[in-house]
Structure 1
Amino acid sequence: MDRGDLVIKSIALNKELEAILAPYSNDTELVSHIRAPLAVEGRVLGTSSDNNHWPLLPLYVAQSINGEWTHTLPFAAAIQFMLTAADVFDDLEDDDHIPTGFTGLSKSIRMNIGSTMILLAYAAFARMNNLVSNQIFHSALEILTRYFIQSSIGQHQDLCGSLSSCFDETAYISHIQKTSASQIQCACHIGAVLSTNDPGVTCPQ
């Protein structure tokens, strides 16, 4: 992967996230808490671009299909807000703490931050409305929602203790498909849907 290209895409996605946060910049404390988990290693606002491949996945998928990627920036921002919100709620459910930005914050404040990130994800998604047709926009929105509900189902099974303590390989793969793998698949799927109407590409088996 070309590092120069990686940096260009990281900067573009960073600007997209900041544009979404800009209307709320007067509330400096809340926006600061939102930026903090987005800046941990592996997130788009992280200081080391070399380790921030995953947030750029939909951009690379789109580019591989039709050579363009800027039209996917709102979705890439949306999925970063959704993934980070999922991390916030996962840590609340596990009684853990995201290392950056949440030390000393109450559970209720952290819950509010997570809820705000979900709303910011949909604010990001709305920015895509003028970049693609209404049909594609609604298809991408449905895909985003479906994959994250699937991830929530997997998390619910984990929290309820309904998973066997002795995973075999098949059971483990099935569970991962509902959780972290579904989020990666979501990024790839929408990157494709936004870039081609070829069902052979956009309808994964």
Structure 2
Amino acid sequence: MTGLILPPGAGRKLVTKAQEVTFKATKADGSSVSIFEVVVPPGFDVGAHVHNDSQEFFYVLDGELQLLGFEPEQRTGDTWHDWRSATGDQVVTATEGACMFVPSGTPHAFRNASSTPARMLFQCYPSPYHELYFEEIAEIWAAGGAAVDPAAVEQMRQRYDVHQLTPLRYQPPTDADFQPTQRGA
């Protein structure tokens, strides 16, 4: 048996307008856990969702991500950004070194609300659900041009144990979104 050693930046890459995913360890490598490095661009929101059978782990390498990893008091269909749990949990802004573990059945989400890309290490058990998911979503993004077909995304998510609670959104920010506020004298 041989281990897998990869230098920085190595691995099979999938690059779309919405994400860059580098496969680090996969089922093809003999791993029961899929491991990826993911670059999350400004404006990307995966939407709150649940997996019945999968567990996930997120580790922020660079930048800033908003993270959700709890059952809210009330699920709202449009956005998860203001959700709170019955015990007071709320969305967290995570920076370098922060992590989140998500057991099966737990609503979770991430988004990049900052003006710069974020980078995270992402692990999913069992392999290969998310490997196949990332490959297929790359095809959907590529075919979608300026807009992504929500029906194609929903059908794909159902195949890979992803039960969407709020919409996936990607709207690249403009420079105006991040300009300082002018204050009167």
The TM tier, using the shorter chain, reads under 0.3
Structure with the higher strand share, 1 or 2: 2
Structure with more contact order per residue of length (Cα contacts < 8 Å, sep ≥ 6):
2
Q: TM-score, normalised by structure 2?
A: 0.28
Q: TM-score, normalised by structure 1?
A: 0.26
